[in-house]
Every structure is written in C-alpha cells, then in structure tokens.
A and B are shown apart, each in its own frame.
Chain A
Amino acid sequence: MLAPDLDERLARFAPEVHEVITTLHGELWQALDPEILELCRLRIAGLQGDGRESARPAPNTPVSVEKAAAIGDWPDSLLFSDRERACLAFTEQFVGDVAGTTQDDVDALLAHFSPGEVQAFVSALLALDQHQRLALGLRTVLAPQEE
C-alpha cells in the first residue's frame, strides 16, 4: 500500500509506474519478518523527517505503540532485539550514506540472517527508501501547484 498522496499522484502522472510500484510494495513484505520491515519503514520516515509517513497506518504488520514511539532511541531502548538492532543499524547507514556501506555492516546482518535473507532485506529497504523519497519529492514539488 502506497502513501495516499503518492498513490494519487502516480496514478495521475505516471500510470505505467503506478501499477508496478503498487505490485512492488505488495511484494516487499515477503522479504523478511514484516514486523522488522515495519520498524525500518518507521525509522526511514524519522530520518527523512516525514511526519506524514510516520503517522500513517502500517501498510502491513503494525508494531506496538511502545516500539513505534521508541524507534528513534533504538540504540538505548531495551525494547528491540538483536536482530531488529542489526536491521535498524543497516537502515540508518543505507538511508544516510548508501555508498559508505561496509562489509562490517553486511556481516552484522549475516550474524542473524542467511545471505538470501540479507539480499531480500536490502531489496525491500531499497523499495521502502525510494517510496518515501519519491513521496516527499513529489509532495514538495507538486503540492504548492495543487493548492
């Protein structure tokens, strides 16, 4: 499920992309534990300062209110498992400086997941990150013209 404003704008301006990105965002939740992916979605929204994405209902599997509220403090919070921490750390590196990702970052994931799961997770992360950047970009560029 896409963010409502992105869904509407893509359907209007790029219907051929709208269809495939909708399929992509249905498939990505098969990549890994959907609760972990939801935590990563929320963390990306926080890093990009996208309050609308942070507030919208979970597209797949919701996480507890306590965890969602603590997502920005995951390094110090006791609510998150080691698997979740590895994924959140990788998410922060991916969003902040994807070109700076190191073998150590990948190895931290491999301590908890198979190589195939890591590949699927990074693919899902790419889709989540692109979705939010696209939604923010179109909102910034188009919203003033639509008012």
Chain B
Amino acid sequence: MTSFRERRLPEPATPTPPVAPGLGRAIGAYQDAVVRLGGLDPVTTELVRLRCARQHQCFT
C-alpha cells in the first residue's frame, strides 16, 4: 500500500523540462491571488487552504 507521502511519479533519470511550464506558473499565480483576497479574514482563509491541502494530500 502506498503511504500518503510516498512519491507516486518516478524521478526522471536526467533533468527533464516540465511539459507545460506555463500551466505550473498559472496555477501558482492563481493560488497566490486567491489567498490575497481581502473578503475573508486571514485566519479563515488559512483554515480553508489547509483543509484543501489535506483533501488533496498535498504536503508541500
């Protein structure tokens, strides 16, 4: 059985450029913009962020 933190994609033998680098940058920009929104207080925003991370098994 795979543990949550076990890497699920094999490491490339040699450094490999990302398939869609613009997509990775766009997701980062989107997430940054969302957490900077001012309509919700910072503590509630952080609680939602942590809940989403747990749901997606994201430990970064």
Contact = CB atoms under 8 A, between A and B. Distances in A.
B5 interface: no
Interface of A: 14, 16-17, 19-21, 23-24, 26-28, 30-32, 98-99, 101-103, 106, 110, 114-120, 123-124, 126-127
Interface residues on B, range: 20 to 34
B14 interface: no
Contacts, number: 86
Contacts of A119: 9, 18-19
Given A103-B8, A127-B30, 14 more contacts: A14-B39, A16-B33, A16-B36, A17-B30, A17-B33, A24-B26, A24-B27, A27-B23, A30-B22, A31-B20, A116-B19, A118-B9, A119-B19, A126-B56
14 contacts: A16-B33, A20-B29, A23-B29, A24-B23, A24-B26, A31-B19, A32-B19, A98-B55, A106-B9, A116-B17, A116-B18, A119-B9, A124-B20, A127-B30
